[in-house]
């Protein structure tokens, strides 16, 4: 018997980031506050952040920061009031980082459905932009187009909106491995 209010299981998101299903605007990749202009750059990778306090070795930005440091691309955002498609790649990179750094977690996320066969034209365009950013701008060619497409599909199919930034102007999404598996009705 299950009692009312009894916790059946808990799950932790293995990746959190700005919602990639919107036209993302520049935000700090640690606290997710909107960036009105270039306030501060990460000392390690040059990505725009809101302050030195958000440049934490174990913070949310650490995963992509580690990847960006491999080839040291420059990140110059022209207009902080307009959407920046680079932010569509952040969740993807945070998950791809798991492949070499947390292989057991990677295996849990890699088995999730991607529903790429149902991808819309708009999703295909976004996917092409993410692949272009990862391969051509960041030079992270250790990840295949197939892997990147799969992860984009996994995020689109399985990630949940889990909250907002402190100013309530940016939605945050999380990818929960066990919740995603339980949520599937594929039989």
pLDDT the model gives residue 20: 80
Confidence (pLDDT) at 186:
60
**pLDDT given for residue 187 in this prediction:** 47
Contact yes or no for 92/155 (Cβ under 8 A): yes
pLDDT digits (tens, 9 = 90+) for 145-175: 999 999 999 999 999 999 988 888 889 999 9
Q: Are 97 and 70 in contact (CB under 8 A)?
A: no
Which regions in the chain score pLDDT beneath 70?
185-187
Q: Which whole-number Å values give the CA distances from 108 to 18, 92, 186, in the listed order?
A: 22, 15, 16
pLDDT score, position 185: 66
pTM: 0.91
- Minimal CA–CA distance to 31: which of 52, 1, 2? 52
Q: How many CA atoms lie within 13 A of 58 on its CB side?
A: 0
């Amino acid at each position: 018997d299950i009692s009312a209010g009894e916790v059946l299981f808990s799950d932790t998101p293995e990746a959190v980031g700005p919602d990639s299903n919107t036209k993302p605007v520049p935000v700090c990749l640690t606290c997710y506050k909107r960036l009105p202009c270039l306030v501060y750059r990460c000392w390690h990778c040059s990505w725009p952040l809101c302050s030195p306090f958000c440049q934490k070795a174990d913070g949310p930005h650490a995963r992509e920061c580690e990847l960006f440091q491999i080839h040291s691309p420059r990140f110059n955002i022209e207009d902080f009031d307009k959407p920046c498609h680079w932010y569509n790649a952040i969740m993807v990179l945070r998950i791809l980082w798991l492949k070499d750094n947390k292989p057991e977690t990677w295996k849990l996320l890699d088995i999730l459905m991607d529903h790429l066969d149902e991808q819309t034209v708009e999703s295909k365009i976004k996917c092409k932009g993410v692949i272009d950013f990862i391969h051509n701008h960041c030079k992270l060619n250790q990840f295949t187009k197939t892997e990147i497409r799969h992860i984009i599909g996994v995020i689109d199919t399985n990630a949940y909106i889990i909250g907002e930034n402190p100013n309530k102007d940016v939605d945050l999404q999380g990818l929960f491995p066990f919740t995603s598996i339980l949520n599937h009705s594929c039989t």
